[in-house]
Structure 1
Amino acid sequence: MLNSKFFHINIYKSEDLKIKNLTITAPGDSPNTDGIHIGDSSNIDVTATTIGTGDDCISIGGGSSRISVTGVTCGPGQGISVGCLGRYKDEKDVTDVIVKDCVLKSSTNGVRIKTYEDAVKSMTASNLTFENIKMDDVANPIIIDQNYCPEKVCVAKSKAVVTVKDVVFRNITGTSSTPAAVSLLCSDKQPCSGVELIDVNVEYIGKNSETTAVCNNAKGIAKDTLQALACLS
C-alpha cells in the first residue's frame, strides 16, 4: 500500500482478523498517514509486516482487546502506539495488547501509550506488553504520556482520567537518538501502576549527554535494566 491520504488501513468494529506480509509506505513528513489503525475490535493479529509512514506505524485505539502485533518493522514514522485515548465520550477500555519481536528504525517514538490530558471520559488501558523490541536510532524509545495534548490547548483540567496499569516492557534493546530513553510521564491525578521494566537496555548514541530516564508518577519495578533507566518507584 502506497501513499494513502489518511490511514492506510482502518480496522473498526472487527473480530478475528489477520494481517500478514504487508508493506505500507508513505513519506516520513506526511501527516495522519497511520499504517494500521485498530479500534473497537478484538482478536486482531498483525504479523510479518513492514511499515514506514509519517504517523504511527500501528495505532491501537479505544475498545481494542486481544491485539497481537508481532514481527513488524517500523520506520520512518511515530512508532507503535496505544492511543490516543480519552478523546471521545463513547470510548471503551483497551486491554490485552501484546507487541513483540519488532524492530523500530529512526522513528520519532518507539513503543508508546498516549492519553489525553483533558480526557472527556474515564477509561482504562491495562495488560499491555511490549517485549523483544529492537530500537535503532529511535527518539523516545519507551514512552507513556498521560498528558498528551498535541494542539497545546488543554488549559481546562478534566475530571475524567485514563487509567494506565499493568504495563510490561521486557527485553527492549538498542539505541536512542535522545538522552531520555525511557519517559514515563504519568498523571498526578491517576498515576500509572504495575509498570515493569525488565531487561531494558537502550542507550543514547549522541554526544555531550548521558542516557537518562524520566519517571513521573509511575509505580512499578525495574529488573535487569540499565541502571540509568531504572527510575520506577
Structure 2
Amino acid sequence: MACTDNAMRALFLLVLFCIVHGEKEESKGIDAKASGPGGSFDITKLGASGNGKTDNTKAVQEAWASACGGTGKQTILIPKGDFLVGQLNFTGPCKGDVTIQVDGNLLATMDLSQYKEHGNWIEILRVDNLVITGKGNLDRQGPAVWSKNSCTKKYDCKILPNSLVMDFVNNGEVSGVTLLNSKFFHMNMYQCKNMLIKDVTVTAPGDSPNTDGIHMGDSSGITITNTVIGVGDDCISIGPGTSKVNITGVTCGPGHGISIDSLGRYKDEKDVTDINVKDCTLKKTMFGVRIKAYEDAASVLTVSKIYYENIKMEDSANPIFIDLKYCPNKLCTANGASKVTIKDVTFKNITGTSSTPEAVSLLCTAKVPCTGVTMDDVNVEYSGTNNKTMAICTNAKGSTKGCLKELACF
C-alpha cells in the first residue's frame, strides 16, 4: 500500500510539474500580445522596418494591443527611423497607463483609399492617462493631396483625414513631438478633459488648406504651453462646448491666429467659457485673437469670460477681431442676425503692429450686441504708410483704458 501511495505521489508531482512548466512556456508566447505590470514594446521587434517604404501598420497596431492590454505603465517605442503607416486605431479603455515614445518619424501613407469614410490617420478613443512624447515627427505628407481639398470653395466638401485625433481622452499629455504637413487638421480633441499640450511644434506651409494646428470642441481643462505653430489655417481653434482653456507661451505664424471658431454652424451647440490666452506672439498672421460666429447661426449660445493678456502682434492683418457676421462661401442668409451672445471679453496689454489699418474690428449685431468688452492698454499700430491706424466697433459696448487713442472706440 505504501509503495502504491509513493507511486501515486510521484505521478502527481510529475503531472504538476508538467502543468506548471507548460504554463510557463505558454506565458512566453503570451508576452508578445499582453503585458503584465509594466512593459515596453519596440515596434522593430514586432516586425517594423524604418526604411520609409514598408507598411508598418500591423506592427504598430500589435504594439498598441499589447500595451493597452497590460497593467501598470506600458510604453510603445517608435525608435529612430522612418516608419510608414496607414490608418491607426488606438482604442481603449486600457488596463494600465500607456506612453507612446516617438524618437523616430511616423510617415502617413499618401494613398487616400486606405482611409475609411471620415477616417483619420491616428485615432485615439476612450483612453485615460495617455502620454505621447519624444523628439520625433508625425509626418502626414499632406502636399500630395492638398490639391484634392475643395473646402475653401465648397461648403459641404469632402473632408480629408485629420492627423492626430483624440476623442474622450482624459488626463492626457502630448509633449516634445513635431506634427508636420497634415492633410487636414493636425490635432483634434473632442470631449477630452484635463489635457496638457506642451513643447510641441506644428508646421505646414501658410497656403496649405484647412491645416489647423490644434482644434478642440466640447472639451474642458485644456492647457497648451510653450508651443510653436505655423500652418495654413488657425494655429489654435476653440469650438463650441469648450471651457477652462489656458494657452500660454504660444508662437503662431503663419496662420489665421488663435480663434474661438465657427460658432453656430450646427444645432444644439453649447457655450464657450473661461478661455485664457496669455504671453503669446503672433507673427504675420491673417488674424490675431479672434471670435467668430455664423451670421445665421443655427444655435443659441453664449461666449463669456474670455481673457487675452500680454499678446504681441508682429504685422498681423487683423489683430483683434470679433465677427458675428461670418459667412463663408456666401452660403449664409445675408441679413441673418446671429444668435450667439458675446460678453465679458478682456483685451489687456495687446501690443505690436498690424499689417492693415483695422487693428481692432468688433463686428457685433444690433439684436445681440457684444457687452462687457474691456480694452486695457491696447496699443497696436498700422505698420504701413498709406493709412492711419483705426478701429471699427459696431454694436459693441465696453470700456477702454490706456489704449492708443485711435483704438478707443467705446
TM-score, normalised relative to structure 2: 0.56
Q: Which has the higher contact order (CA 8 A, sep 6+)?
A: 1
Inter-partner Cα distance in structure 2 for 1:230 and 1:136: 21
Inter-partner Cα distance in structure 2 for 1:145 and 1:159: 12
Find out whether 1:183 has 2:361 as its counterpart: yes
Inter-partner Cα distance in structure 1 for 2:305 and 2:365: 18
More displaced 10-residue stretch of structure 1: 102-111 or 160-169: 160-169
Partner residue, 2:270 = 92
In the TM superposition, 1:67-106 aligns within 5 A as 67-106=245-284
Inter-partner Cα distance in structure 2 for 1:126 and 1:195: 10
Shift in alpha-carbon separation, 1:159–1:111, aligned structure 2, 3 A? closer
In the TM superposition, 1:19-98 aligns within 5 A as 19-98=197-276
The answer (yes or no) to whether the contact 2:221–2:244 under 8 Å persists in 1 is: yes
The answer (yes or no) to whether the contact 2:337–2:365 under 8 Å persists in 1 is: no
The answer (yes or no) to whether the contact 2:325–2:338 under 8 Å persists in 1 is: no
Find out whether 1:231 has 2:231 as its counterpart: no
In the TM superposition, 1:103-122 aligns within 5 A as 103-122=281-300
Deviation at 1:6, TM superposition (A): 0.9
Shift in alpha-carbon separation, 1:201–1:6, aligned structure 2, 3 A? same
Task: Determine which structure has more spread, i.e. the larger CA radius of gyration.
Answer: 2
Shift in alpha-carbon separation, 1:102–1:8, aligned structure 2, 3 A? same
Deviation at 1:153, TM superposition (A): 2.2
Partner AA of 2:397 in structure 1: K
What CA deviation, in whole Å up to 9, does each residue of 1:100-149 have, x standing for no partner? 10000000000000011010011000000111000001100000001001
Partner AA of 1:221 in structure 2: S
Give 3-state SS (helix, strand or coil) of 2:304's partner. strand
Find out whether 1:162 has 2:340 as its counterpart: yes
Deviation at 1:158, TM superposition (A): 4.6
The answer (yes or no) to whether the contact 2:337–2:367 under 8 Å persists in 1 is: no
Deviation at 1:151, TM superposition (A): 1.3
Partner residue, 1:144 = 322
Deviation at 1:208, TM superposition (A): 1.6
Q: 1:202 aligns with which of 360, 365, 380?
A: 380
Deviation at 1:157, TM superposition (A): 4.6
Inter-partner Cα distance in structure 1 for 2:206 and 2:278: 23
Deviation at 1:90, TM superposition (A): 2.5
Deviation at 1:80, TM superposition (A): 0.3
Deviation at 1:223, TM superposition (A): 0.4
Structure 1 segments, 4+ long, off by >3 Å, are 156-160
What CA deviation, in whole Å up to 9, does each residue of 1:7-55 have, x standing for no partner? 1000110001000000000010011100000100000000000000000
In the TM superposition, 1:2-17 aligns within 5 A as 2-17=180-195
Partner AA of 1:3 in structure 2: N
Inter-partner Cα distance in structure 2 for 1:116 and 1:209: 30
> Is the helix fraction higher in 1 or 2?
2
Give 3-state SS (helix, strand or coil) of 1:228's partner. helix
TM-score, normalised relative to structure 1: 0.98
Inter-partner Cα distance in structure 2 for 1:152 and 1:167: 28
Partner AA of 1:148 in structure 2: Y
> Is the strand fraction higher in 1 or 2?
1
The answer (yes or no) to whether the contact 1:114–1:148 under 8 Å persists in 2 is: yes
Superposed CA RMSD: 1.0
Partner AA of 2:292 in structure 1: K
Inter-partner Cα distance in structure 1 for 2:267 and 2:355: 36
Inter-partner Cα distance in structure 2 for 1:17 and 1:216: 36
Inter-partner Cα distance in structure 2 for 1:158 and 1:229: 28
Inter-partner Cα distance in structure 2 for 1:210 and 1:125: 31
Q: Unaligned regions of 5+ residues in structure 1, if any? A: none
The answer (yes or no) to whether the contact 1:120–1:158 under 8 Å persists in 2 is: no
Give 3-state SS (helix, strand or coil) of 2:282's partner. strand
Deviation at 1:154, TM superposition (A): 1.7
The answer (yes or no) to whether the contact 2:295–2:333 under 8 Å persists in 1 is: no
Inter-partner Cα distance in structure 2 for 1:83 and 1:203: 25
